[in-house]
Amino acid sequence: MFRVPLWPMTTYDSHPVGAWWAKGIPVLDHHELAVGKLAALLARRQVRDLFDSHRILQMDDLDPQRLRIGFVVYGAMNR
């Protein structure tokens, strides 16, 4: 990623696959991931973005105010 995230990132450990696993994987806030996918839907108009957007809009724990702010920022970046 070539920019500063809008919200703090968190780190997670992966699930073990056999004897292997990764620790401390940086992950974007789920609002930022959602906003990125919704902005991609409008910018690219690909079927995969429509599928992802449909799944995102079914999530219960999204804050509409954060989505609005992020969507404005991402929309400005896509211009």
Query: Tens of pLDDT along 14-71?
Result: 999 999 999 999 999 999 999 988 888 888 878 888 888 899 889 999 999 999 999 8
- Give the helix ranges, DSSP H, for the chain: 30-44, 47-57, 64-77
Q: What is the pTM of this model?
A: 0.77
Residue with structure tokens 């211009």? 79
Where exactly are the structural domains of the chain? Answer: 29-77
The answer to whether 27 touches 10, Cβ cutoff 8 Å, is yes
